[in-house]
Amino acid sequence: MAHPHPLFGGALDNKVTQTLARAFVELGYTAWRPNFRGVGGSDGTHDEGRGELDDLAAVIEYAKAEKPVLAGFSFGAVLQARLAQTVKPERMVLVGVALKHFEAPAVPADTIVIHGEEDTTVLLADVLEWARPQDLPVVVVPGADHFFHRRLHVLRAIVQNNWK
């Protein structure tokens, strides 16, 4: 589970990241929620996504996960999409993909993409523009903002109800 941007308060205890982790634990997975470098007492400093991508790869290696499930929120979703280019995941869940400031590559066709209808941090139009050429469905949560205030239960249900 990859958290939002560290320079804007993102950390492993972010409520969207925690909700994703709980959903996967309830599905029978082990959830890893590392802090990116320089967050919460971890070593290093923010590296514009380069070092953070290396950090996520190191977690996969440490966990000895051959076909990991990758999930992320905002900045973390972009990094997980990038990681999927080298680590072939079992499946992915990307929430509020931060496409306003970062580029994300195409993702596997069975990726679950979730976005808040009223997200003003990352516009739904930007996510749809990214998803359209991939024929990638986007699940839109009515009334949800970027942080899914009062909609975390809906987010959790979407993940669990759409899991194979």
What is the mean pLDDT for each group of 10 consecutive residues in the chain (164 residues)?
91 96 96 91 87 94 91 98 96 96 96 98 97 98 98 98 90
- Going from N- to C-terminal start, the domains of the chain cover 6-161
Q: What are the angstrom distances between the C-alpha of 90 and each of 18, 99, 113, 143, 163?
A: 20, 23, 15, 30, 11
Give the pLDDT confidence score for residue 22 in this predicted structure. Answer: 97
Query: In 3-state terms, what secondary structure has residue 94?
Result: strand
Residue type, 132: R
Give the pLDDT confidence score for residue 149 in this predicted structure. Answer: 98
CB distance 91 to 69 below 8 Å:
yes
CB distance 49 to 75 below 8 Å:
yes
CA distance 109 to 124: 19
CB distance 130 to 97 below 8 Å:
yes
Architecture of domain 6-161: 3-Layer(aba) Sandwich (3.40)
The DSSP secondary structure of 62-84, one letter per residue, reads HHT-SS-EEEEETHHHHHHHHHT
Give the pLDDT confidence score for residue 44 in this predicted structure. Answer: 87
CA distance 46 to 33: 17
Give the pLDDT confidence score for residue 38 in this predicted structure. Answer: 85
CB distance 143 to 149 below 8 Å:
no
Give the pLDDT confidence score for residue 72 in this predicted structure. Answer: 98
Give the pLDDT confidence score for residue 62 in this predicted structure. Answer: 93
Give the pLDDT confidence score for residue 23 in this predicted structure. Answer: 97
